[in-house]
Amino acid sequence: MTDLAMRVAPARSEALRRAAPALLGYAAVRALGLLALTLWSAVRDKDAYTLLTARWDALWYTRVAELGYGYEVHMPNGDVHSNLAFFPLLPWLERLVAEVSPLSYADGGFVVSLLASFAAAWGVFAVADHVYGRRAGVCAVLLWAALPVGIVQSMAYSESLFTALAAWSLYAVLTGRWITAGTLALLAGLTRPVGLAVVAAVWVAGIASFARDRSTPPGPHGARHVTRALGLFLAPLGVAGYVLWVGHRTGKGPLGYLDVQAGWRNGFDGGYAFARFVAEKFTSFPSALAGVGLIIGVGLLVWLYIVGVRQGQPLPLLVYGGVVTALALCASSYFGSKPRLLLPAFPLLLPLAISLSRLRTRRSAGVLAGLAVASAVYGAFWLNGSGPP
C-alpha cells in the first residue's frame, strides 16, 4: 500500500466514525418508515414493495433501463407522455445492477435508491458538520430523514441519488476540491433537471473564488486556477449534454426537451399556475383550510431561506437551496409533487438543525423521535393513497 493510500484510508475511517451517529439515526428513521408502510399496506391488502418499486415514475425508470428511450403514452386529452422526460443516470445504474446480478430492473432501482439514500445522508452530514459542527450535522440528517415525504428516499426514484450527488458536490466546493465538485455536478445533471441548481452553486462559488484570488497579493495560484476552471467546465456537461441529445433526437433543436416536458404539462411559469391552484382552494370552506396550509408552508420555506442568509450560510448552499426551491415552486407541474421536488433542498433544514443542536440531548431527541413517527405514519398513508405522481 502506498503512503497516499495509507493516509486516505484512516481519513475515510475517521470520517465514517464521525458520521456514524447520523447514519445510524438515519437507518432507524427509515426502518421505522418502512415498517409503518409494510403494516399499513398489509391492512389495505397491498404490497409495500410494489408501492416502492413499481408504481408512478419508478415504472418509467425501469422501462428506460429495460427498453431504452422512445416509449410514449398518448393520453385521451392529446398530451404525449414520453420517457425522454426522465434523465438517464438512474436507469443506467438499474441496468448495471440487473446485468451483474440476478435482480430485476425494479430491484436494481430499489438497491440504488437504498445505497444512495445513505450516501445522501452522509453528504448532508458532511456539509452541516463542516459548516456548523457535528451536533448540527446529526440533527440535519435526522430532520431530512423525517420529512413528511421522507419515504420517497426509499423508493426507486431519483431523489436520493440526486441528493447524494448534490450534497457531496457542495461539500467538495466548500473544501476546495473543484474537479470532484464539477464531476459530481455533471452526474447530478444526468439525474434530474434540477441538476441546474448544483451547476449554479459550483459556478457561483467558482467565480467568487476567482474574484477573491484577484483581490489577494500575487502568489502561486496557477494550479488552483487550472483545477477550478476544469471543475467549472465539467459541471454543466451532464444536464447540457442530455438536453441537447433530446433536442437532437426529437429534431426540435436545443430546446426540444422543453417540448417533451410540455407533453407532461410541465414547465416554468414563475409560479403563476401554483398561485392559481392555491387561490382556487378558497372557493369553498373545507378546501380553504388546505389553501391556508399551503400559504403557511410556502411562507415557512421563505422564512427558513431568509434565516439561512442571516446566519451566514455559505454562498454555494444558498444558491443551491434557492434554485431548488424556486424550480419546485415556480414549475407548472403536478402540484402534489412539489413536496417531493423539495426533498433535495436540504440547506433549508440547516437553521432548524442549528436550533435543535443547541437544545439538551433529551429534548432534541424527543422532538426528532416525534417527527420520525409522524413521517412514518404519513408516508404509509400517502403511498397507500394518492402517492406521488
Q: What is the pLDDT of residues 169-209, one digit of tens each?
A: 999 999 999 999 999 999 999 999 999 999 999 999 999 99
Q: Residue 266: what pLDDT?
A: 87
Residue written as grid cell 378558497: 282
- For residue 349, pLDDT over 80 is answered with yes
Domain layout of the chain by residue ranges? 20-383
Which stretch of 247-261, 323-337, 344-358 has the lowest confidence by average pLDDT? Answer: 323-337
Q: Residue 378: what pLDDT?
A: 96
**φ, ψ of residue 61 in degrees (nearest 5):** -65, -45
Q: Residue 220: what pLDDT?
A: 55
Q: Residue 267: what pLDDT?
A: 81
CA atoms within 13 A on the CB side of 80: 9
Q: Residue 272: what pLDDT?
A: 81
d(CA 181, CA 172): 5
Strand partners, 80: 74
Residue written as grid cell 404519513: 378
- For residue 318, pLDDT over 70 is answered with yes
Q: Residue 98: what pLDDT?
A: 97
In the structure grid, which three cell numbers stand for residue 296, read together?
A: 403557511
d(CA 41, CA 383): 9
Nearest Cα neighbor of 116 from 193, 168, 57 is: 168
Q: For 54-71, what is each residue's pLDDT tens digit? A: 999 999 999 999 999 999
Q: For 88-116, what is each residue's pLDDT tens digit? A: 999 999 999 999 999 999 999 999 999 99
**φ, ψ of residue 295 in degrees (nearest 5):** -65, -40
Percent of the chain with pLDDT strictly greater than 70: 95
Helix (H, G, I), strand (E, B) or coil at 216: coil
**φ, ψ of residue 40 in degrees (nearest 5):** -65, -40
DSSP 268: B
Kindly report the pTM of this predicted structure: 0.94
In the structure grid, which three cell numbers stand for residue 219, read together?
A: 502568489
128-145 average pLDDT score = 97
- For residue 269, pLDDT over 50 is answered with yes
Do the Cβ atoms of 304 and 352 come closer than 8 Å?
Answer: yes
Nearest Cα neighbor of 320 from 142, 162, 195, 149 is: 195
d(CA 69, CA 85): 10
Nearest Cα neighbor of 155 from 195, 97, 106 is: 106
| Residue 155 vs residue 278, higher pLDDT | 155
